Chain A
Amino acid sequence: MVKSETQVPRVSSQADVTQRTESSLSPVPEPSPSPVRTYLLNCGSSALADRAFSILMMLCALSIFGIVLLILIELISGSKLTIQKFGPSFFFGSAWDPVNGDFGALPFIYGTVVSSVLSLIIAVPLAVGLAVFLTEMCPAWLRGFLGFFTELLAAIPSVVYGLWGIFVLIPLLRQYANPFLIKILGWSGIFVPPNYGIGMFAAGVILSIMILPIISSLTREVMSAVPHSQREAVLALGATRWEMIRMGVLRNARIGIVGAVILGLGRALGETMAVTMVIGNRPQIVRSLLAPAYSMASVIANEFNEASDPLNLSALIEIGLALFIVTIIVNALARVLVWAVTRGAPVRGT
């Protein structure tokens, strides 16, 4: 097979060779003007091997679609029972009664949405501030170091965040932060006793620490994609550094930053272990953020193995299905927005 290929350069002209190398990236070489070359390319065993290789690679790439389809099919078939029995009202009911077979997912949806939004409120300003500092203000020697540190923050497993949350964050919140919040914001009804430490607020705080690195690293990427000429133009008009950042950088990167924030939201929605460990696991909808709550991912984590009743299992799988569809949509939206800004440059998935 090597033999037939080695003859190719000999029989083909110089121009032919360059043309072939350009087209060599497609699975089947394009027909060339020389009939001898075409013959050699198609009759040798390497033609077959090349084709087989490219098809094998394509199958592996297509397996990614296969995975998405597989998850979707498994989840839909697993949740048939509750989809048939409750229909859309499953997502609006707030009963969760495995004994009597009555299931509604509203408290879990509420817990997931509120804890995620809370985490965004805390994380977004800090993440953008960090990105601004790292791209526009930071001396070069510190940038690599801080960048590495934030990357580490992204690499810590969820369960370790949960462990830290239980033993360090929750006592801190219970003793210092929560009483303070009750004192200054207690009138609003959002921060009122009882103060257990665990609860919606603790989940929001731990989630914000977890999604911060993702938002800030993507924001950095988007901000670095803004051309230097933009910065120079604004500076040349006499702007201060902050005005340059605001008008030259943030304004140009805003779509990408929104994308980064939505990506962070996607992470927060699906985060399981750390939230399960600090949210308190009580399916209720109350106004106070200090009260225990429950999230979609954590009810699955806690009850899935104990669910002996098929209807209960089906209800949990349907929550998983909802989580899957929502995160797919959120992530797709975020990627499109980030791509709109960093078009051409590869987006680094974390």
Chain B
Amino acid sequence: MATTTMPPPRRARASNRFLRVVIDHLATVAAVGSTIVVMAPLIAIFGYLLFKGASSLNVAFFTQIPKPVGESGGGMANSIVGSGVLLAIASLMGVPIGIAGGIYIAEFGRNKRLANMVRFTADVLNGVPSIVMGIAIYTLLVAGKGYTALSGGVALGIMMIPTITRTTEEMLLMVPLNVREAALGLGVPNWRSVLSITLRTASPGVITGCMLAFARVAGETAPLLFTAFGNQYWSTSLTQPIAALPLQIFVYALSPYDEWHRLAWAGALVLIVLIVVSVALVRYVAGRGVLKGAS
């Protein structure tokens, strides 16, 4: 390190020293360089999205349904509402089951083999391609019956479960044991203590975990291709095909029309804003110390 002040060790030659310092500097340059190379596409993606998306956003985007090919204007109101419906179904299904699974691992299954297996399976399930989930839901709910909004919501809901289970577990494990002891010492039944004391103490973290899962499935396209299918018109019926923002972006991006490309960029910007806000919120809450009130 400090080559000039330290006397050289017995056998190390000065040139060797010099070489090592040069390699050290080269490694630093390489690390900084790779950081810059990684940041470049991110900045490019965000910059381009803001530039293209913002110039295409207008009131009509949020209030109108798509116009036929060749006509300008139109919006994605039906897709935004459709995504909302799909995400509502997904959350109704994924959030309770996911949180309950997390409670089991953290509160009832500590150091148990079964809990470890659940945790491991949840991690593995997290990495299963979403398109596979789409096929499974298709053969289960869609084949022979037709595309429905409900099946799309179920596919997204299943995808939320492993993420929420893992984050809930992590957040519950951060709650100090004293809090549980205090509750039990007052004679509160265990189930009551878990729900109103432990879960409540960890609730900021659990909620942000749910938002993270929400943000993740909000952008999912692949599982919706064969379940929700997409729709050019207004529909909020659970038994009909329904439009969704990511599906519509996919269709418009591959279309040959400039007008539709414009809408695709605007849709992508709306999606990204939703996701960035959730991620930022998660970081803000996590950085503040999830359990400040408790400890």
Contacts and interface: CB of A to CB of B under 8 A. Distances in A.
The 8 closest A-B pairs by CB, nearest first: A157-B219, A270-B129, A129-B34, A60-B100, A53-B191, A331-B127, A242-B27, A6-B187
Interface residues of A, number: 111
Given A58-B104, A60-B100, A146-B35, A327 B188 contact: no
Contacts of B105: 61
A150 B254 CA distance: 27
Contacts of B173: 346
B97 A9 contact: no
A293 interface: no
A243 B24 contact: yes
Majority DSSP secondary structure for residues of B touching A? helix
A342 B185 CA distance: 35
Interface stretch (A62-70, A90-98, A178-186): A62-70
Contacts of B219: 156-160
Contacts of A26: 108
Contact of A163 (B114, B128, B253): B253
B41 interface: yes
A272 B246 contact: no
Interface string A130-141: 101110110000
A197 interface: no
Interface residues of B, number: 113
B274 to A, nearest CB: 10
Contacts, number: 320
Nearest to A150: B38
B118 to A, nearest CB: 5
Contact of A297 (B140, B184, B222): B222
B118 A62 contact: yes
Contacts of A88: none
A126 interface: yes
A320 interface: yes
Contacts of A58: 104, 108-109, 114
Interface string B261-293: 100110010011001101110010001000000
A209 B216 contact: no
B271 A57 contact: no
A1 interface: yes
A151 B283 contact: yes
Contacts of B226: 304-305
Nearest to A6: B187
A5 B118 contact: no
Given A57-B101, A125-B34, A167-B48, 20 more contacts: A24-B190, A53-B191, A57-B100, A60-B97, A71-B136, A74-B135, A130-B31, A133-B35, A137-B32, A155-B278, A159-B219, A160-B45, A166-B253, A166-B254, A270-B129, A320-B131, A330-B127, A331-B128, A334-B127, A346-B173
A38 interface: no
B184 to A, nearest CB: 5
B156 interface: no
Nearest to B12: A238
B50 to A, nearest CB: 12
A241 B24 contact: yes
B221 interface: yes
A15 interface: no
A126 to B, nearest CB: 4
Contact of B129 (A63, A212, A269): A269
Given A129-B35, A349-B166, A332 B24 contact: no
A148 B265 CA distance: 23
Nearest to B118: A61
Interface in A278-325: 297, 300-301, 304-305, 316-317, 320, 323-324
B44 interface: yes
A162 B108 CA distance: 43
Interface stretch (B56-64, B72-80, B157-165): B157-165
Contacts of A24: 180, 184, 190, 193
B150 interface: no
Nearest to B131: A272
Given A2-B187, A137-B31, A327-B127, A57 B104 contact: yes
Contacts of A300: 131, 135
A25 interface: yes
Contacts of A74: 135-136, 139-140
Contacts of A21: 177, 180-181, 184-185
B21 interface: yes
B125 A324 contact: no
Nearest to B193: A24
Contacts of A17: 185
B14 interface: no
A71 B128 contact: yes
Contacts of A161: 45
A129 B33 contact: yes
Contacts of A125: 34
Nearest to B212: A155
Contacts of B271: 157, 160
9 contacts: A5-B187, A57-B100, A64-B161, A155-B216, A156-B45, A158-B220, A160-B219, A320-B135, A331-B124
Given A67-B161, A149-B39, A130 B108 contact: no
Contact of B225 (A49, A271, A305): A305
Contact of A270 (B24, B120, B131, B186): B131
